[in-house]
């Protein structure tokens, strides 16, 4: 009976994580006592320990800092490869949003999928990567989506830094944990948490642009970010009155500048025509 109760509690907790925004208080409030240690604590601005060593899917030792080039943002997911439910849902959600955005891993950003189970090795990571790259349908993404495993100490340092709390249940022989994408800057700083297992393509795209400080994306994306702000309660970008006013001022200046440029060009052409007709030198407007 105890096993059934605990399993039900884990399932209910997972459903709550899927439906709720990634706020720590929401993940902890009203949760059974034995699940209080399972949460994602937002630590925006936290700097990842880039000196940590892991093993990639090919069995090679790598440092976390190798994946942060100072230019491209990084999407961090914390999973374990034998997970029977939530990890698969998270990675499937990530795969779905990748297919619905023009950004591609390896070209515009990096993805780090790190197992928090120290007993898992590169064989599992390699199989998982092969499955998801095949499902994505773009072999070039293999250079930008990395599946890592590691030892207990570096795993604990990484999960502790980003506020990812999980717990092993001996009776069920499973890890109990929450789910979120952790968006990091190109320098290795936590920028945004996207909770759940279903992700809005626009929110995903703008989170990457924001994390890159405008190094990726279009001019329209930059204007959109000026007008909209991210609200963790809603898990999306919503309109900001101040941002709209600021963007309106910028648009006004751009329009006025364009009109003045048209006027100057027209005036210059008229002066040249008059000078040519009079046989004198052409000059610019005073």
Condensed to tens digits (0 to 9), the pLDDT of residues 56-101 reads: 999 999 999 999 999 999 999 999 999 999 999 999 999 999 999 9
User: Which pLDDT belongs to residue 169?
Assistant: 87
Domain presence at residue 228: no
Domain presence at residue 182: yes
- CATH label of the domain that carries residue 77: 3.40.30.10
CB atoms within 10 A of CB 200: 15
Domain presence at residue 251: no
Condensed to tens digits (0 to 9), the pLDDT of residues 102-155 reads: 999 999 999 999 999 999 999 999 999 999 999 999 999 999 999 999 999 999
Domain presence at residue 124: yes
* Residue 101, burial from CB neighbour count under 10 angstroms (0-12, 13-18, 19+): middle
CB atoms within 10 A of CB 7: 15
Domain residues for the domain of 187 are: 2-200
* Confidence band, pLDDT 50/70/90 cuts, at residue 280: low
The number of folded domains in the chain is: 1
Condensed to tens digits (0 to 9), the pLDDT of residues 189-210 reads: 999 999 999 999 999 999 999 9
User: Which pLDDT belongs to residue 215?
Assistant: 56
Domain presence at residue 226: no
Condensed to tens digits (0 to 9), the pLDDT of residues 221-256 reads: 454 445 555 555 555 656 554 444 454 454 454 555
Domain presence at residue 159: yes
CB atoms within 10 A of CB 109: 23
Condensed to tens digits (0 to 9), the pLDDT of residues 18-58 reads: 434 444 444 444 555 556 678 999 999 999 999 999 999 99
Domain presence at residue 231: no
Domain presence at residue 85: yes
**Residue 78: HSE in the Cβ half-sphere, 13 Å Cα cutoff:** 29
The pairing of beta strand 74-79 with beta strand 110-115: parallel
């Amino acid at each position: 009976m105890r096993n059934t109760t605990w399993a039900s509690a884990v399932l209910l907790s997972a459903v709550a994580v899927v439906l709720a925004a990634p706020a720590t208080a929401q993940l902890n409030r009203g949760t059974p006592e034995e699940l209080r240690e399972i949460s994602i604590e937002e630590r925006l601005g936290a700097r990842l320990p880039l000196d940590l060593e892991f093993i990639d899917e090919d069995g090679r030792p790598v440092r976390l800092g190798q994946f942060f080039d100072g230019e491209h943002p990084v999407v961090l997911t914390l999973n374990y490869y034998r997970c029977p439910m939530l990890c698969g849902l998270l990675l499937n959600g990530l795969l779905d949003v990748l297919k619905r955005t023009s950004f591609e891993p390896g070209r515009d950003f990096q993805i780090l999928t790190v197992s928090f189970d120290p007993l898992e090795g590169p064989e599992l990571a390699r199989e998982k990567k092969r499955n998801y790259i095949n499902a994505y349908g773009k072999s070039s993404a293999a250079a930008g989506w990395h599946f890592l495993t590691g030892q207990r100490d570096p795993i604990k340092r990484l999960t502790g830094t980003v506020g990812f709390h999980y717990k092993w249940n001996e009776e069920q022989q499973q890890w109990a944990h929450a789910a979120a994408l952790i968006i990091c800057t190109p320098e290795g700083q936590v920028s945004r948490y996207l909770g759940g297992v279903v992700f809005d393509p626009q929110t995903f795209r703008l989170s990457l642009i924001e994390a890159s400080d405008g190094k990726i994306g279009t001019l329209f994306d930059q204007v959109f970010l000026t007008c909209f702000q991210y609200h963790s309660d809603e898990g999306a970008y919503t309109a900001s009155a101040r941002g709209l006013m600021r963007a309106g001022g910028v648009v006004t200046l751009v329009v006025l500048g364009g009109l003045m440029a048209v006027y100057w060009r027209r005036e210059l052409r008229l002066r040249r025509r008059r000078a040519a007709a009079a046989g004198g030198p052409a000059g610019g407007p005073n």
